[in-house]
Amino acid sequence: MGKTNQGRFFEDYKVGDVLIHAVPRTVGQGERALYHALYPARHALYSSDAFAQTCGLPAAPLDDLIAFHTVFGKTVPDVSLNAVANLGYAEGRWLAPVWPGDTLTAQSEVIGVKQNSNGKTGVVWVRTTGRNQNGDAVLEYVRWVMVRKGNLDAPAPDTSVPDLTKVVSAENLVVPQGLTFANYDFALAGEAHRLRDYDIGEQINHVDGVTVEEAEHMMATRLWQNTAKVHFDTSARPDGTRLIYGGHVISMARALSFNGLANAQMVVGLNAGAHANPCLAGDTIRAWSEVLDKADTSAPGVGAIRLRLVATKGEADFSLRGDDGKYRPEVLLDLDYWALMPV
């Protein structure tokens, strides 16, 4: 098996290493159509060229999460093939829209390592940047994963834990060039609620649910060229189940959040995220949101809303953690992000 990729182990990561991820990918109208087939996506700015043009853009960009999944997928063979757990996200920013026809590449810098006290695993922090064919950065984020050691006798590296901001500050969010909500058509967007109609602390039950199927999550995960075995191979886990890619849950919950947040058009910041429990085919995903913050931007009519997006596999009752402080078993996802919304 000398020519196949076995993935990196904990001892293979050194702070400062730069990983050039393989297989650049051109994304376009086909990926957009599949995104709409796989998720109940309805945010108008990604659904309609005409709507995007009234918002000052040349056409509808590809969904922000297509950019995220594509970049994330590229990192899997180098970052998480031997990962035990995907521990968190921080400092995520969308830096430029991705247009149909763009080719995305990704690279990651190792920014932290910490061996666990059991000596068998360690935590690796990477900062990943996605770029388009012109070399412009379109996305960056920090992710940390728990990775197995390949050689248990390898010495523990010096612990280096990066100092990460809890929340991307509103002034560091990047509003796409030309974006304006001055002529925003609320009727076509689907809801009348604008930024000033939302209160910090307000919670929204997104009402709808989707029961997920094996074929769907595998098609989605392959579309992003994510190769982690556990998503595809029933023999990869002892119980014969295929674990659904956490990003599938993110996209499903974000799409469901249209119902109550139809005007939270563009995702521009990712502050934090936890995949609280595994999601399996047959689960019915529901979602609720909580307004965490609001901010202005410099673009005409464009504000920013900070949201907690929670996906559950049971009823969505706004309850996140049990008495023990741990995520309740029906919670799948707890995501903290910024979106752009008409003020």
Q: Which residues from 149-188 bind its own copies, rule CB under 8 A?
A: 187-188
Residue type, 21: H
- Environment class of 4 (CB within 10 Å of its CB; exposed 0-12, middle 13-18, buried 19+): exposed
- Which position among 18, 50, 152, 200 is part of the footprint of its own copies (CB under 8 A)? 50
Q: Whole-angstrom Cα distance, residue 275 to residue 311?
A: 9
The alpha carbon of residue 110 and the mean position of all alpha carbons in its chain are separated, in whole angstroms, by: 19
- For residue 97, the minimal CB distance to its own copies (Å) is 15
- For residue 14, the minimal CB distance to its own copies (Å) is 18
Please give the residues from 93 up to 132 whose contact with its own copies meets the rule CB under 8 A: 101, 103, 105
Return the number of other C-beta atoms located less than 10 Å from residue 303's C-beta.
21
Per-residue binder mask for its own copies (CB under 8 A), 61-100, x = binder: ----------------x-----------------------
| Listed ranges 28-36, 114-122, 140-148, 267-275: which one lies at the site for its own copies (CB under 8 A) | 28-36
| Listed ranges 34-42, 161-169, 270-278, 317-325: which one lies at the site for its own copies (CB under 8 A) | 34-42
- For residue 104, the minimal CB distance to its own copies (Å) is 9
Per-residue binder mask for its own copies (CB under 8 A), 185-214, x = binder: --xxxxx-x---x------xxxxxxxx-xx
| Listed ranges 25-33, 91-99, 325-333, 335-343: which one lies at the site for its own copies (CB under 8 A) | 25-33
* 148 touching its own copies, by CB under 8 A: no
- For residue 181, the minimal CB distance to its own copies (Å) is 16
Distances (CA, A) of 208 to 41, 67, 94, 180: 12, 25, 27, 30
| Identity of the residue, 24 or 162, whose beta carbon is nearer to its own copies in the bound complex | 24
- For residue 107, the minimal CB distance to its own copies (Å) is 10
| Identity of the residue, 89 or 258, whose beta carbon is nearer to its own copies in the bound complex | 258
Closest among 114, 44, 64 to 258, alpha carbons compared: 44
- Which position among 11, 31, 63, 140 is part of the footprint of its own copies (CB under 8 A)? 31
| Listed ranges 33-41, 112-120, 122-130, 142-150: which one lies at the site for its own copies (CB under 8 A) | 33-41
Q: At CA 248, angle to CA 215 and CA 258, rounded to 5?
A: 115
| Identity of the residue, 144 or 224, whose beta carbon is nearer to its own copies in the bound complex | 224
Q: In this structure, are residues 140 and 91 in contact, taking their beta carbons and an 8 Å threshold?
A: yes
* 48 touching its own copies, by CB under 8 A: yes
Please give the residues from 216 up to 255 whose contact with its own copies meets the rule CB under 8 A: 216, 218-220, 222-223, 225, 227, 229, 232-236, 242
Q: Whole-angstrom Cα distance, residue 339 to residue 173?
A: 9
| Identity of the residue, 15 or 219, whose beta carbon is nearer to its own copies in the bound complex | 219
Angle formed by the axes of helices 214-223 and 246-256, to 10°? 100
| Identity of the residue, 114 or 131, whose beta carbon is nearer to its own copies in the bound complex | 131
* 47 touching its own copies, by CB under 8 A: yes
